[in-house]
Chains A and B, each alone.
Chain A
Amino acid sequence: MNGNKQNVRMNLLQPFLAIAGLIFLVNLAGANLQAQGMSADEIVRKANIVAYYAGADGRSSVRLTIVDPAGNKRYRQFNIVRRDVTDAGDQLYLVHFSRPADVRNTVFLVKKRAQGDDDRWLYLPDLDLVKRISAGDKRTSFVGSHFLYEDVSGRRVNDDAHKLVETTAEHYVIENTPKDKSGVEFSSWKVWIDKKTFLPVKMEYTDGGGKVYRRIEAVETEVVQGHPTVTKMKVSDLANGGYTLAELRNIAYDIDVPESAFAEKSLRNPPMSLLTGRGK
């Protein structure tokens, strides 16, 4: 893996460049956009594929550091493999937890559907039991972190109306308004999409009072096998304090994950060499 490191943390020179080129770039971007003829919907669609459908399949090791408002920390570590059934459509996910000790070897299998409810299973190693989980609210905490299930598997593009509200030197800023307000805790959310890579690098969620209460930021990105990939992420609860840091390593795409890796057998006997990228 030759990751071409590309830090998206605020570069100290960037303010100079940004201000110097601001007038130019705003005009250029507008012209460029019109030339490309990309609508907000098209930008969002492309960003969705870049963020959630890179390659035909992939794997990653993930560490979460969950920090509550009082500063107490909890940790989660897991390996994840993904296979796309159809691009921008159905997907299969297998997640194998290694930390903390009380959830070690718990396995989570998701059949994500573009239409209808996802199918989800959980394997509880202490009972050697495969438990099926009902569809449920996707805007609830993912494994106790500040991430939501929907952040991990991707919100359906068609669930929101998209509006391009700003084009900066580096980003398309899209405002997303849910078509169905029931079942979501935000009134709208904004996403900053990198103009070059189409990777979403920041998301801000606004409540009914117009206040931003939740933010997700890409803190570091790498290009892995040609795919721009977020390797460090932070989600902050701006209303109550507290945040979760996510660090991704051991990322690989197009590793030939067979469909059989998502069969029931994998819950009891997870394919560790696929999950960790290390031969057994």
Chain B
Amino acid sequence: MMHKFTLLFLLLFGAATVLQAQDEWDESGDDWGDDDWGDDITLPEIHGFAELAAAARFDAGPGADEDILLSEARFRLDVSHRGSVADLIVKADFVADDVLGLTDFDLRQAYIDIRAADWLNIRAGRQILTWGTGDFVFLNDLFPKDFVSFFAGRNDEFLKAPATAVKFAIYNGVANVDLVWLPIYTSDRFISGERLTFFNSAAGAIVGPAVLEMPISPQYPRRTLDKGEFAARVYRSVGSAEISLYGSVGFFKQPTAFDVNSGMPTFAPLNTAGASVRLPLLGGLANAEASYYDSADDPDGDNPFIPNSQIRILAGYEHEIVSNLTGAAQYYLEQTADHEALLANSPTPQYEPDENRQWITGRLTLRALRQTLQLGLFGIYSLEEDYHVRATASYQWSDALNLSFGALLMGGEDFSFFGGLKHNSNAFVRVRYGF
């Protein structure tokens, strides 16, 4: 009797289990909405996102007549096609910018990636380029950055600006080689006073859109092939360590030079050479990088209108502190060569950086709620007593919907690097719907 009862129970339970299981799996099948798992795609894939972003200054201060420094709607269209020998990728942003009062088309990527041979890949067109081991600190990466986006509260991805380039990636057993040719010089998207306020050493004060008649408009290298840039990286693994050598020929990415003839800021020629290593160490990850910046037109450092040569050194370490919480720290040194000659010849020696500019950076990243919530804290403290803090929270509401908010703080003496940006300290919020 007892056994029969148990049997009946088992039968019912078993059937219920099967039914319930079927429900789950059927539902999952329905929700995916296809049966071939999408691997057979021969048509172009279309994706993208729509995003609203806003940021407001805590304290507008001099130079800014607006508290709002970011208020924009962005729509990205991402079309890609994988072919048998080549891929075509286009990522284009359409932006309605309420702060500058304009609509903008920002072609982020538009390239063909050709698998020319087993050992050779060629990527030609507009693309995002980056290399090096630093975390928000760049030594051998001379590709264009967008510091306006970085300090205005846009997504971190916008720190990298696109460039039109041809990249040859050569793979072989000895060492891989990346050769990049940027036929037309592309500068950083630097802080010009159009949106952000900054310290202007000529004015000796913080300036911005409210006081500048027009944003800083430097003289660019001619848009001809002879002013193009080259960059190369040679890299390989030795055991668990990754070793890279870098070199580049081109120009400074910021208008830090002054053209005496035109009276305009400009970009001085710059050649660099460097190396980096990254390896697992004591359960974490260690990296070191160095670079020499050769300011070709100011070899002795006595021309006050051209930046001096520099040595840049970085050491970093990252380690998981506890489950889902990662900590990282970096030490960065920027040593200006011929510093005495710089001070002796500078019209504004009081605003020149120290011979040794040193940064300590720290980062904490916490992932929670099954990685749907990410909290980040990143700080740079300069031994010249200026600082930058980025506190961010990002919540993935669903696969499609992301909500991010946070605060960016800059502070220090007006003439210091981050101090000059202090009146741009802001709180930001972004909502993104991806498809």
Contacts and interface: CB of A to CB of B under 8 A. Distances in A.
A156 interface: no
Interface stretch (B7-15, B202-210, B329-337): B7-15
B287 to A, nearest CB: 8
B11 A15 contact: yes
27 contacts: A9-B21, A10-B17, A12-B11, A12-B14, A61-B39, A63-B37, A74-B399, A75-B32, A75-B399, A99-B38, A100-B400, A101-B48, A101-B434, A102-B399, A104-B47, A129-B130, A134-B319, A134-B326, A141-B370, A144-B371, A144-B396, A219-B21, A219-B25, A234-B24, A264-B171, A264-B176, A278-B40
Contact of B323 (A74, A126, A139): A139
A38 interface: no
Interface in A126-141: 126-129, 132-137, 139-141
B189 interface: no
Interface of B: 3, 7, 10-11, 14-15, 17-18, 21, 24-25, 28, 31-32, 37-40, 47-49, 82, 84, 113, 115, 121, 127-131, 157, 160, 169, 171, 176, 235, 240, 242, 278, 280, 283-285, 318-320, 322-324, 326, 367, 370-372, 396, 398-400, 402, 434-435
Contacts of B129: 128
A264 B175 CA distance: 11
Contacts of B48: 101
A58 to B, nearest CB: 17
Nearest to A64: B28
A73 interface: yes
A96 B428 CA distance: 33
Given A126-B157, A128-B130, A245-B25, A100 B37 contact: no
Provide the main secondary structure of the chain B interface.
Answer: mixed
A102 B434 contact: yes
A15 to B, nearest CB: 4
A112 to B, nearest CB: 13
Given A140-B324, A278-B39, A268 B169 contact: yes
A225 interface: no
A78 B427 CA distance: 36
B278 to A, nearest CB: 6
A72 interface: yes
Nearest to B287: A132
User: Chain A interface: which size bin?
Assistant: 35 or more
Nearest to B169: A268
A65 B372 CA distance: 15
B14 A247 contact: no
A249 B39 CA distance: 12
A118 B291 CA distance: 30
A210 B319 CA distance: 32
B121 A15 contact: no
A135 B157 contact: no
Interface string A1-28: 0000000011010111001000000000
A65 B435 CA distance: 18
Contacts of A63: 28, 32, 37
A100 B399 contact: yes
Contact of A101 (B31, B320, B370, B435): B435
Contacts of A265: 121, 169, 171, 176
B11 A245 contact: no
Closest CB pairs A-B (n = 5) = A65-B28, A100-B399, A134-B285, A144-B371, A10-B14
A115 interface: no
A234 B27 CA distance: 14
Contacts of A127: 128, 130, 157, 160
A79 B17 CA distance: 30
A77 interface: yes
B121 to A, nearest CB: 6
A61 B326 CA distance: 30
A134 B400 contact: no
Contacts of A136: 320, 326
Contacts of A133: 285
Contacts of B128: 126-128
A140 B323 contact: yes
Contacts of A135: 280, 283-285, 320
Contacts of A61: 37, 39
A232 B171 contact: no
A15 B15 CA distance: 12
Contact of A10 (B18, B37, B47, B367): B18
Contacts of B402: 102
